Structure 1
Amino acid sequence: MHVTLAEELMLLSLDDESGVAKDGSSAGWAVAGSFLADLAMAGRIAVEEGRLAVTDPTPTGDPLLDERLERIVEWIGRKAPGKAKASEWLTRDHATAVRATVLRLCQRGLVVEERHRVLGLFPVRRYPEADGSVERELRERLASVIRHHAAPDVRTATLIALLHAARLHGLAFPDLPRKRVEMRFAEIAAGDWAGDSVGQAIRNMHVAIAAIAAVTAATAATAAVS
């Protein structure tokens, strides 16, 4: 089963038993960025100096990616030339991107939606695992790269770069020392593992996501203290 980077990130984020999203805010930024990464690898978009551009508006054949591509084309069409910033798109899209990705996982039978009410009043939705085969394969692939230092393919390296940018090291390896995981993720994120145009797009998104994640973490820390 082919899955997008967004689906892989959501599978890592959702707790298998409770269905609650771990590090939900940061994971949302990474999911939105993963759509751009997949579209860049498909030759549909480019990110240069923080600006987002569509290089080919034709569908990829993946409904999840094509929905985002249509949204991006429409959004950029309302912007002045050269004014479409990747960071602005991520801010605009991250919540919608997460909902679309979770719906796709439900449709594929990988997670199941459960509805609850907190205090009998406030509705919440959770998405526990229904079929763990895709996530197991994903974690095995990540383990071969991080634990055993195998060379990553482009998709795996891109996923690791997104996790690293959003500071989501613990989602992939909660049982390993964070310092060890961070160092290996940083090494891979800085590597020359993609072609020039895709590599440039991923590096630009890494900067945008890392900046947003830093602000999100600082805001959360301030709120916790006050």
Structure 2
Amino acid sequence: MLIAEDLLLLAFDDTEGKPVSGIENLDQAVAGALLLELTLLGKVDVTGEADGGKAGRIVVRDATPVGNTELDAALAVLDGEQGAKPQDAVARLAKDDPVDRLLSGLADRGVLRRESRKVLKLFPVTRWPAADSRHEEQLRAELHRVLDEGGEPDDRTAAVIALLVATKSVEHALPTDDPKATRKRAEQIAEGNWGGDAVRKAVDEITAAVMVAVMAAVVITTS
């Protein structure tokens, strides 16, 4: 399961099959998740002083395919976007409608159900209710252990939490009895040294880029 797919499972209501209230601009969030996962895999990085040229730009360190269709497609796009700012790379990946593709993939694997219908018998809509919630239940249990019980996360769990923080989705995706405490713990993890020193700067740049991309999408949508 990809980090981006985990993000979608948390974002979508299991019964209604649509994003829970308060979660928007998922294409930008999912694009950032793909970029972040490639970074944690050592495929993509953000340039530093040792690279020459402008620092803080996207660079592909290893273009060898990962073996996952979505990650390999994103890697190919980024290989043609080297030198872009992280927020521009996120925006570019978001243009390819990653949410619809990932939701379809989850449905093909039996994790979600694809339900197509027409609203008012005119407007076609697709809903994605849960079909097999076992992975999501494990994910939520792990997030509960980390955020509510003070457990230490692995890099994958920390990445999911950092993306929820970047998109301001913690309370919406993870409702708890004490949302303020949950959000505070999530922010502490997002700002921590997960991922290791070698990719820390890139992680910070990419999560910040996701926030910028999501906020830019909000401005465009509401203007």
TM-score of the superposed pair, with normalisation by structure 2: 0.88
Shift of the alpha carbon at 1:118? 1.4
CA contact (8 A) 1:162 1:206 kept: yes
Shift of the alpha carbon at 1:74? 3.3
Q: Output aligned runs, 1:145-164, within 5 Å.
A: 145-164=146-165
Give the Cα–Cα distance (whole angstroms) in 2 for the partners of residues 20 and 52 of structure 1.
Answer: 32
Q: Output aligned runs, 1:51-70, within 5 Å.
A: 51-70=57-76
CA contact (8 A) 1:26 1:167 kept: no
Deviates more, 1:22-31 or 1:89-98: 22-31
Unaligned residue ranges in structure 2 (runs of 5+):
48-54
- Specify whether residues 136 and 114 from structure 1 end up closer, same or farther in structure 2 by C-alpha distance, changes over 3 A only: same
Deviates more, 1:174-183 or 1:106-115: 174-183
Aligned to 2:52: none
Aligned to 2:79: 73
Deviates more, 1:140-149 or 1:97-106: 97-106
Cα-Cα RMSD: 1.9
Deviates more, 1:114-123 or 1:5-14: 114-123
TM-score of the superposed pair, with normalisation by structure 1: 0.87
Aligned to 1:207: 208
1:141 aligns with 2:147: no
CA contact (8 A) 1:5 1:38 kept: yes
Identity %: 35
- Specify whether residues 182 and 24 from structure 1 end up closer, same or farther in structure 2 by C-alpha distance, changes over 3 A only: closer
1:39 aligns with 2:38: yes
CA contact (8 A) 1:64 1:104 kept: no
Q: How many residues align?
A: 214
1:159-207 CA-to-partner distances (Å, cap 9, x unmatched) read 1111101101124321333321221111001111222232222110121
Q: Output aligned runs, 1:106-121, within 5 Å.
A: 106-121=107-122
Aligned to 1:79: none
1:15 aligns with 2:16: no
CA contact (8 A) 1:26 1:168 kept: no
Unaligned residue ranges in structure 1 (runs of 5+):
77-81
Shift of the alpha carbon at 1:28? 2.6
CA contact (8 A) 2:35 2:90 kept: no
Question: What is the letter of the counterpart of residue 39 of structure 1?
Answer: L
Deviates more, 1:66-75 or 1:137-146: 66-75
Aligned to 1:90: 90
CA contact (8 A) 1:50 1:87 kept: no
SS in 2 for 1:207: helix
